Amino acid sequence: MDVSGTTYQLLMIISDASFYFLPFILAYTSAQRFKVTPMLAVALAGVMLHPTFATLGESIQFLSIPVSYVNYSSTVFPIIAGVYIMSWIEKFAKKISPKLLAGILVPLLTLIITSPIVLIIVGPIVNVASTQVGNFVIWMTGKAGFIAGPVLGALYPLFVFLGIHTSLVAFELQGISQSGFDPIIAIGACANTAIASVALYLALRSRNQQRKSMAASSAVSGFIGVTEPALYGLVAGRKEHWIAVFAGGAVGGFLMNLFGVKGYGIGPVPLAGIAVFFGDKFLFYLLSLLITVAVTMAVLHILGMGEEDRLETAAKEEKKATEKMTEKVTKLTAPVKGSVVPLAQVNDSTFSEEMLGKGVAILPQEGKVIAPLDGEVETIMDSRHAVGLKCGDIELLIHVGLETVGLNGKYYEAFVKEGDHVKKGDTLLTFDQKAVEEAGYDLITPVIVTNTDEFSSVTGTNVNTQADYTTEILMIERA
C-alpha cells in the first residue's frame, strides 16, 4: 500500500484517533469515578485539546499570568488530575449558587475556574511528572529487565487479586503515547497465562467432575484474558497454586524482557488481544507463553497438586458436605443491613457481569457483617474487607465495598480467622461506615455464590427493598 496515498492516511487516522483524543475518553470515565457532571469533564478535555491553543505562540498569558503550552493529545494523567480538581470546584459552585440560577452558574463557574488552574498549574506539572514516570518504567523494563520482568511478572497476579492492576493501564497508555509501544502488557500476558495454567492443570488432572468443569471453563476464560474466575475460584486460599503462579509469571516476565517483546496497543491478553504483538517478536511472544505454561504446571506437579489421592480426598469431602445438605432449596438471609439492589448496579464489571457468580448487592446502613448460614471461614483478606464462607455445598463471598483493599484494613475489624467454624448470626466483620465513605470509597457490598454453576438456579429475592438480618435475599435451588 502506498504510504503517501489517502487510503493509508485514512487507515492511520482510524487507528490513531482513540489515542490522539484519549483525554476525552478519560474525561468521561474519570467523571464517573469522581462524581463530576460528565459533559463538564469532556468540555475540560476540549479546552486542553483545542487547536487554537497550539497557535498562541510561546508567550501565552492569562490575566498577566504566564501559561506554558503543552500538547495534551494522547496524554493520560493531566486530564485525570484536572477532573479530580473539577470535582471539588463543582461541589463549591453548587454550594454558593442560588437554586434558581444553579443550572447556569454551576457549569459556568466550574469550567471557568477549573480551566485556568489546569492549564497554568496542574497540567504542565502532571504532564512532566507522568512523562518522567513513563520514561522510568520504560527504562526499567528495557535496561533493568532482568529485575523488572520477573518481579512484575510474579507480582502482577497479586495486583489482579487485590484489584489494583488497572492502575498499570495508565502507565501502559503513557508508554504507547510516548514511544509507540508498551513492554508491560507482555509481562502481564505471562502472568495471566500462569493463572490460566493452574486452571488447565486442574482440569486435566482432577477426578472431581464439578471441579474439572469449573477448572476447564476458568482455563478458557483465563487464556482469553479474563483471569478472575480462576484467580478467585481456584488459586485464592491455596498456597501451592500461588507459588506456581508466581514462578510461572516470573519466568515468563524474564523471557519477555530477554527477547524484547513489546505490545503496540492495549487489549485482553494473552490471546484475545494477541494482535497487539504482531511483528518481528511475535514468535518469541508465543514461545514465552508456552514456557510459562510448562513452568507453572511443572511447579504445581512438584508441589503435589497432581497427586490423584489428594484430589480424590478433596472430592470425597466435597461430596460428603453436599450430602449433608438435603434441602432442595436454601434461602439465604442478609449478612448486612441495608438496601438490596441487583448486581448490575455495582460499578465493577467483575461483579456486575457475574464473573464470580450470581448474587445481589447491599447498600449498608450498619457497619456489621454477620454469617447468614452455619459454615466455615475459608478466606478472609488481610485488609479485612472481604470474607469467603463454605456453608455446606454453598461457597459464599461477601465483599464490603469497591476497591476498599486500598484502605489496608483501616476502619475494618475482623472477628474471625480462616478455618473458624461459625454459626448463623455470628459477627464476621465490622467497619466504620462513615469513615470509609468519607475516604471516598463506595461501600456497596456484593454477596456472591461463587460456585453458582453447581446449582440449578441462584435467584435474588426482595431486591430493591430494605433488608435486616432476617430478610431473605437469595434463593439457591438444587437440581
**First-last CA distance in the chain:** 60
Question: How far apart (Å, rounded) are the C-alpha atoms in residues 196 and 217?
Answer: 10
Number of Cβ within a 10 Å radius of residue 366: 13
**Residue 385 bears catalytic tag:** no
Residue type for position 45: A
Pairing of strands 427-431, 368-370: antiparallel
Q: What interhelical angle do 184-205 and 145-162 show, nearest 10?
A: 60
Question: How far apart (Å, rounded) are the C-alpha atoms in residues 375 and 472?
Answer: 18
Instruction: Give the three-class secondary structure for 402.
Output: coil
Residue type for position 63: L
Write the DSSP assignment of 341-369 as a string of letters. EEGGGSS-HHHHTTSS-EEEEEEESSSEE
Residues 6+ apart with CB under 8 A from 31: 37, 38, 40, 41, 42, 83
Of the candidates 165, 241, 385, 399, the residue annotated as catalytic is: 399
Element housing 41 (H / E): helix 38-49
Question: How far apart (Å, rounded) are the C-alpha atoms in residues 395 and 411?
Answer: 26
Contact between 341 and 363 under an 8 Å Cβ cutoff? The reply is: yes
Please list the active-site residues. 399
